[in-house]
Amino acid sequence: MAFKQSNLVPGWTDSDPVVNWKLYKKHIDDCVAQGSNTPQLITYPVFSADYGANYIKASNAYSGGVLVGDKIFFSPWNQSQNPYFAWHYLDLTSGKLKLYSIWTVNNPVALAYQGAVVDQNELVWFMPSEQGNQTKWHYVDPKKNWNGPDSIITVVNGPTKTNPYRGGVFVPSLNRIYLIPFNQSNEPTWHYIDTVTKTVVGYSQNSGVTPVANAYFGGVLAPNGRIYLIPYNQASASHWHYIDTNTGNVVAYPQNSGVTPVAASAYQGGALTSNGKIYLAPSQQADEANWHYIDINTGSVVAYPNNSGVTPVSSVAYSGAIFAPDGYVYLIPYSQTTATNWHRINPVDNSVSAYAVPALIGSGSAVSGGVLAPDGRIYLMPCNGPISPSKLYCIKTNAQQNFNTTVLTSPFFNKF
In whole angstroms, give the CA distance from residue 392 to residue 330: 18
Phi, psi of 117, deg, nearest 5 = -140, 140
pLDDT for 386 equals 60
Q: In this structure, which topology does domain 21-408 adopt according to CATH?
A: Methylamine Dehydrogenase; Chain H (2.130.10)
Q: Are 392 and 386 in contact (CB under 8 A)?
A: no
What pLDDT does residue 56 have?
81
- In 10 A of CB 203, how many CB atoms? 15
Q: Would the pLDDT of 166 be above 50?
A: yes
pLDDT of residue 4: 45
Contact, 169 vs 219, CB < 8 A? Answer: yes
- pLDDT band at 1, cuts 50/70/90? very low
Give the pLDDT mean for 93-107: 78
8 CA to centre of own chain: 23
Q: Count CB neighbours of 352 within 10 A.
A: 21
Sheet (strand 199-204) strand order: 165-171, 176-181, 189-194, 199-204
pTM: 0.95
pLDDT of residue 5: 43
Asked if residue 247 has pLDDT above 90, the reply is yes
How do the domains of the chain map onto residue ranges?
21-408
pLDDT of 10 reads 56
Say whether pLDDT at 298 is over 60. Answer: yes
Q: 3-class DSSP state for residue 133?
A: helix
pLDDT of residue 255: 97
SS3 of residue 257 by DSSP: coil
User: For the ranges 9-18, 75-84, 199-208, 355-364, which has the lowest average pLDDT?
Assistant: 9-18
pLDDT, tens digit, 9 for 90 and up, residues 174-209: 999 999 999 999 999 999 999 999 999 999 999 999
| DSSP classification of residue 370 | E
The pLDDT of residue 364: 78
What counts of helices (H) and strands (E) characterise the chain?
2, 28
Sorting pLDDT into bands at 50, 70 and 90, what band is 223?
A: very high
What band does 359 get if pLDDT is binned at 50, 70 and 90? confident
At residue 48, the pLDDT reads 58
Q: Amino acid letter at 33?
A: A
Average per-residue pLDDT for the chain: 90
Q: What is the pLDDT of residues 35-58, one digit of tens each?
A: 889 999 998 877 655 555 567 887
